[in-house]
Amino acid sequence: MADAGATRGSTGRATWVVLPTYNEADNLPGISAAILEALPDATLLVVDDGSPDGTGALADGLAAADARIRVRHRAAKQGLGRAYLDGFEVARSGGAAIVVQMDADWSHDPAVLPELIEPIVDGSADLVIGSRYVAGGGVVDWGLGRRLISRGGSTFARLVLRLAPHDLTGGFKAWRAATLATIPFAGVHAGGYVFQIEMTFRATRLGARIREIPITFRDRRVGQSKMSRRIVAEALIVVVQLRAEELLARLRGRSGGSVAGIPGPSASPDPADPPPAEATAAPAIQPAPPDAP
């Protein structure tokens, strides 16, 4: 149950928003202002991968003008997952109790942020997913092909990995920082789609309570999508690999061991069991103590 140490009125106290950027100079000023308007007590961490369009320098200027903004500079583009993991570490080291991940291209509406973190604030969830594929959610400005790839990828991963959440490829999420601390970052894949799937997979196997809230996803306002066929193919391959490694650990009879950092069979469902009907896992991770969300 949340109190003074948590986010009062979902204003973002003890919340860090991790915002990876690569060539987002046109979007960064507006999205930064909108994030801090939605969560005025939050810290915004811009993680820039050496953008050639000057996004990093622009972020430095925003940080100089507003103490709530911080910047993490990375030498080069190394994958969305690596940028997020780096940002998560910085946020946790900075004292974050809640860590939000979102895109800088306006695909994720900053106005939803208070609702996204609320289940963590009130102690009912450890991971909250902004979902396009639950009642009330949706996608606009996408063609049929992109819709099929996104929805199909989530459905494929959900079935293969026996996961309950419906939107596994989306990147609008709020994490309890203590939950992130239980996930071994070593070996997590760096790609966009596969990173989103794998982090939810790992959280589920560790017993995190997961909630989905409906969001409307809009295609980026400015710039070009960074999605590619290679990223999609990588995601499909890694999904199969994750399940194969998990089943291998089961066959080896490991009661609590792991393969590539994935919890062993004691933490995973039986392959014959159907996916859970609801997207809320058993509360193996207990609600936060009174002095943290």
pLDDT at residue 151 in the model: 80
CA dihedral 204, 279, 210, 192 (to 10 degrees): 70
Q: Predicted confidence band at 276 (pLDDT cuts at 50, 70, 90)? A: very low
Contact between 64 and 100 under an 8 Å Cβ cutoff? The reply is: no
pLDDT at residue 114 in the model: 98
| pLDDT greater than 50 at residue 285 | no
Q: Predicted confidence band at 282 (pLDDT cuts at 50, 70, 90)? A: very low
Q: Predicted confidence band at 277 (pLDDT cuts at 50, 70, 90)? A: very low
CATH number of 8-267: 3.90.550.10
- Spatial distance between the Cα atoms of 42 and 10, rounded to a whole number of angstroms: 10
pLDDT at residue 225 in the model: 52
Contact between 64 and 37 under an 8 Å Cβ cutoff? The reply is: no
Better-scored residue on pLDDT, 142 or 162: 162
180 torsion bin: left (phi>0), alpha (psi -120 to 50), beta (else): alpha
- CA nearest neighbour of 55 among 21, 15, 10, 106: 21
Of the chain, the percentage scoring pLDDT greater than 70 comes to 78
| Residue bearing tokens 């960064």 | 28
What's this model's pTM, rounded to 2 decimal places? 0.81
- Spatial distance between the Cα atoms of 291 and 293, rounded to a whole number of angstroms: 7
DSSP assignment, residue 266? Answer: G
- Spatial distance between the Cα atoms of 38 and 52, rounded to a whole number of angstroms: 29
Q: Where in the chain are the domains?
A: 8-267
Residues in the chain: 293
| Residues forming a β-bridge with 131 | 214
